[in-house]
Amino acid sequence: MKRRTGFICDESYFWHHVGSSTLFVLPGGYVQADGYAENPETKRRFKNLLERTGLMKELVQIEPRMATKEEIKLFHGEAYIDKVKKLSDSGYGDAGELALVGKDSYEIALLSTGGALTAVEKVIAGEIDNAYALTRPPGHHAEASLGMGFCLFNNVAIAAKYAKKHLGIERILILDWDVHHGNGTESAFYDDLNVLFISLHQERNFPPNRGTVEDVGEGAGEGYNINIPLPAGTGNAGYMYAMEEIVGPITDQFKPELILISAGQDAGVFDPLARMMVTTEGYKEMIKFMLNLADKHCDGKIVACHEGGYSTAYVPFCSHAIVEQLSGIDKGIEDPFYGAIEGLPTNELYTIQKEYVDKAKAIHSKYWDI
C-alpha cells in the first residue's frame, strides 16, 4: 500500500561539525587524526541514495522549522540550554560526556529538534501518513541537564512531550532500536504511564551502566519502561523474536495514538561502534512490523527520527529500506553487500538470544499479558 511519507531534512544538519577526531577520541600523542564517528557522511549518503534511486521524488519533502527555547525546555533545563549556546558561540566544547559542540551547533540542534516537531505536527494534522526525519545531531542519549553520546537535545523526547501538551495525544509508544540504549529518553518518561518506552539495544554497550532489564520504570510509570538488552552478535532473527514476543503484544494492550521510533541503524552488521548483525532485510521486517501495529492502533501514525549509525557504506542502504517500507514504494534496490554477509547467521535465533528476550518477557509479565 502506497502511503504519503514525509521526509524532513535540511542541509544545515550536515554542517554540525566538531573538528578532527578518531572515532570519538581526540587526536594527539599516538592517536592519528581520523574521522569523527558521528560525522555527516552516513546521513548525507542516505539522502544521496534516496535521490539516486528516485525515491526522494515520491516522498513529501518538508522543510523543518526551528524549535523554540520554550519547546526545548519541555525536557531540558534552561541552564543546560544556555550552556550549549555558549559553547556553540565560542566555537567548541563538550556539553557533557562525548557531546561535542561546534560553531553554530546550537542553532543546528534547534533545527534538528524542530525537524522532529515538524514531522509530528504534519502526521497528527493528517497532511502526511507517516514521516522520516533525518535529524542531526541525534538526541536519545541527551539527559535533561547533560549532553551525552553525540546528542545535544533529545529530539524524540521533546517531540513526545510536545505532542502530549499541544496536539492532544495521550498515549505514545517510543520504540528505540538504536544499538545503544536511549538513556535520555528513558529518563524523560520513567514515571509516565502514558508514554511506553521500549528499547532494543546491545547489552552494556553505551552507556554501559544503563538499559538493564530490571529498569522497569517507577511510580505510575512502573511497567511502562521496557528494556530488552541483547547479546553481541544478535541479528535479524533475535530482533524479530523480541518484536513478536514483547513489542507486539504489549503495544496491542497499550493501544498508542502515536508511534515514535528512534531509528538508529547502528545494529547493522558493518557498524564500527557495535557488534550486532542486522541487515537491510532485518530493518525492512522491523519497520513492516511497526507499520502493522500503527495501522491497527493509530491510523498508521509513525514518525521515525534518525539517531545513530556509523557505517558510511551500510547505513544508507538500511535507512533506504526503512523509507521504502514507510512509503510502500519498492525501488528494487538489492543489498550490494549481501555476498559478503550471506554466510553469517543473521537469520538464526541462538539459544542465548532467546534467553535474553525471554528474561525481559518474564519480568514484564507482571505488568502485561505476555
288 neighbors 325 (Cβ within 8 angstroms)? yes
Q: Which of 141, 181, 306, 320 is catalytic?
A: 141
CA distances from 93 to 33, 98, 148, 152, 319 (A): 18, 10, 13, 12, 30
* Nearest alpha carbon to residue 141 among 253, 24, 255, 243: 24
Q: Please, what's the b/e burial string for 55-86 (b: 16 or more CB within 10 A of its CB; e: otherwise)?
A: bbebbbebebbbbeeebbebbbeeebbebbbe
201 is catalytic: no
* CA 52/CA 45 separation, integer angstroms: 10
C-alpha cell at 239: 530482533
* CA 322/CA 41 separation, integer angstroms: 18
* CA 255/CA 139 separation, integer angstroms: 25
Residues belonging to the active site: 141
